[in-house]
């Protein structure tokens, strides 16, 4: 008989390519926050949510249509006490993204991700998920040399407070899940093979997570990937075995792990099985946003079944490897391709769930 109680949760990572009309209007204006763009932003959110809900996804996002510039610096872009020559993120396609550099204290967010929920709730009929940037990513804004009159420890204290407030406001405004983007985790291993930088990132993020109760942490997740921008990555050459043991030391309840684009998925799944704790769920990536091939539900089904050979069903979920357009000017993937891949993820997960349910109830 069919199993009607077993479910494999499936969630998106976040970003969806913006409408070409919006991207062109931003480029023409030169100002992401130009009030004249507001109708285009609102229509982009409305259309994104409508399309998201049509995929059958049980939880959705606003596609990060209004995250100015990108997923990494949306909260700090335009701060008066920053300079543009901050930390560099080199991608395999040959281009570089840069962070702002903090020039003086105190550190405060300019924008908080909860503001995006205000608009999304007007259009959504399904639970909403909100992505936020990690403290470890923003810690890279502080320069190597101390800032006069504003110590690194003062900065960290301010950073942790701002991050905690952002997550709490997201929950207060109705987010069902909050996802902490931690793409710099794998990059840290590349930058510092000794592991010291990664360990410092883990320690900092755990200081933030420790501010939440165990119940709250079950609604908080951490996303890791090798980067995704213009069909390229920043750290795909880093062995997951160097990251995952430390990743699962984070005190979060959910982990969103890019997997579909990995060459040896079975090896990664074995590592996940070895280090996943009993109170954690692993959402494995079953579609790759930077792969132009539109997956079929059957291809996704087989990836889910493969993952189920290694991860207990009660701790298994599915997701996308990364957001489809983490940087707002990325046009390498179309909206149509993104939603087709999401639909395949949802349908493929359900196909796998049916097979696994029938196996348990012959």
Per the rule left: phi > 0, alpha: psi between -120 and 50, beta: everything else, 64 is left
Task: State residue 327's pLDDT score.
Answer: 77
**CA angle at 68 for the pair 66 and 71, rounded to the nearest 5°:** 95
As a whole number of angstroms, the distance between CA 89 and CA 229 comes to 11
Q: How confident is the model at residue 162 (pLDDT cuts 50, 70, 90)?
A: very high
Mean pLDDT in residue range 298-307: 98
**CA angle at 306 for the pair 300 and 312, rounded to the nearest 5°:** 115
Mean pLDDT in residue range 135-149: 95
Task: State residue 360's pLDDT score.
Answer: 59
Q: Say if residue 5's pLDDT is above 80.
A: no
Return mean pLDDT, the chain.
92
Q: How confident is the model at residue 249 (pLDDT cuts 50, 70, 90)?
A: very high
Task: State residue 338's pLDDT score.
Answer: 96
Task: State residue 301's pLDDT score.
Answer: 98
Q: Say if residue 1's pLDDT is above 50.
A: no
Reported as a single tens digit per residue, the pLDDT across 47-71 is 999 999 999 999 999 999 998 778 8
174 in Cβ contact with 121 (< 8 Å): yes
Domains and CATH numbers, the chain: 20-360 (3.20.20.210)
For the chain, what's the residue count?
A: 362
Q: Say if residue 4's pLDDT is above 60.
A: no
Task: State residue 277's pLDDT score.
Answer: 97
310 in Cβ contact with 345 (< 8 Å): no
Q: Say if residue 101's pLDDT is above 70.
A: yes
Q: Say if residue 362's pLDDT is above 90.
A: no
Q: Say if residue 230's pLDDT is above 70.
A: no
Contacts of 346 (CB under 8 A, 6+ apart): 10, 55, 56, 57, 58
pTM beyond 0.85: yes
Paired tokens of 7: 């479910």
Q: Say if residue 221's pLDDT is above 90.
A: yes
Task: State residue 297's pLDDT score.
Answer: 98
Torsion on CA atoms 208, 11, 271, 207, rounded to nearest 10:
0
Percent of residues, the chain, with pLDDT higher than 90:
76
Give 3-state DSSP helix, strand, coil % of the chain, rounded to 5. 40, 15, 45
The two counts, helices (H) then strands (E), for the chain are: 12, 10
18 in Cβ contact with 44 (< 8 Å): yes
Task: Give SS3 for 361.
Answer: coil
Q: Say if residue 300's pLDDT is above 70.
A: yes
Question: Which 8-state DSSP code applies to residue 62?
Answer: -
Task: Give SS3 for 110.
Answer: coil
Percent of residues, the chain, with pLDDT higher than 70:
94
100 in Cβ contact with 83 (< 8 Å): yes
As a whole number of angstroms, the distance between CA 162 and CA 165 comes to 5
As a whole number of angstroms, the distance between CA 44 and CA 154 comes to 39
Mean pLDDT in residue range 89-111: 88
Task: State residue 138's pLDDT score.
Answer: 97
Three-state helix/strand/coil letters over 248-281: CCCCCCEEEECCCCCCCHHHHHHHHHHHCCCCCE
Task: State residue 236's pLDDT score.
Answer: 66
As a whole number of angstroms, the distance between CA 184 and CA 234 comes to 9
Reported as a single tens digit per residue, the pLDDT across 168-190 is 999 999 999 999 999 888 888 88
Question: Of residues 69 and 24, which shows the higher confidence score?
Answer: 24
């Amino acid at each position: 008989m069919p199993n009607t109680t077993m479910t494999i949760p499936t969630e998106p990572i976040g970003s969806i390519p913006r409408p070409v009309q919006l991207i062109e209007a931003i480029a023409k204006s030169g100002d992401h926050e130009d009030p004249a763009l507001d109708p285009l932003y609102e229509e982009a959110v409305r259309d994104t949510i409508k399309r998201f809900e049509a995929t059958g996804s049980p939880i959705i996002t606003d596609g990060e249509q209004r995250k100015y510039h990108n997923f990494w610096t949306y909260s700090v872009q335009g701060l008066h006490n920053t300079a543009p020559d901050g930390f560099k993120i080199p991608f395999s396609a040959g281009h570089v993204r840069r962070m702002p550099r903090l020039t003086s204290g105190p550190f405060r967010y300019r924008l908080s991700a909860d503001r995006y929920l205000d608009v999304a709730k007007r259009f959504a009929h399904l639970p909403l998920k909100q992505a936020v940037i990690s403290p470890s990513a923003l810690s890279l804004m502080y320069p190597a040399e101390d800032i006069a009159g504003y110590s690194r420890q003062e900065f960290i204290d301010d950073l942790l407070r701002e991050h905690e407030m952002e997550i709490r406001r997201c929950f207060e405004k109705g987010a069902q899940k909050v996802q902490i983007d931690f793409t710099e985790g794998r990059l840290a291993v590349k930058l510092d093979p000794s592991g010291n930088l990664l360990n410092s990132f883990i320690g900092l993020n755990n200081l933030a997570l420790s501010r939440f109760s165990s119940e709250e942490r079950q609604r908080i997740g951490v996303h890791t990937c090798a980067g995704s921008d213009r069909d390229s990555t920043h750290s795909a050459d880093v062995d997951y075995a160097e990251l995952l043991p430390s990743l699962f030391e984070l005190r979060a309840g959910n982990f969103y792990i890019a997997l579909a684009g990995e060459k040896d998925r079975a090896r990664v799944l074995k590592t996940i099985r070895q280090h996943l704790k009993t109170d954690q769920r692993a959402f494995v990536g079953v579609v790759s946003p930077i792969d132009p091939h539109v997956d079929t539900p059957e291809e996704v089904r087989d990836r889910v079944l493969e993952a189920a050979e290694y991860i207990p069903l009660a701790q298994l979920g599915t997701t996308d490897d990364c957001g489809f357009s983490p940087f707002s000017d990325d046009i390498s993937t179309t909206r149509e391709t993104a939603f087709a891949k999401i639909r395949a993820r949802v349908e493929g997960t359900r196909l796998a769930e049916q097979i696994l349910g029938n196996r348990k109830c012959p």
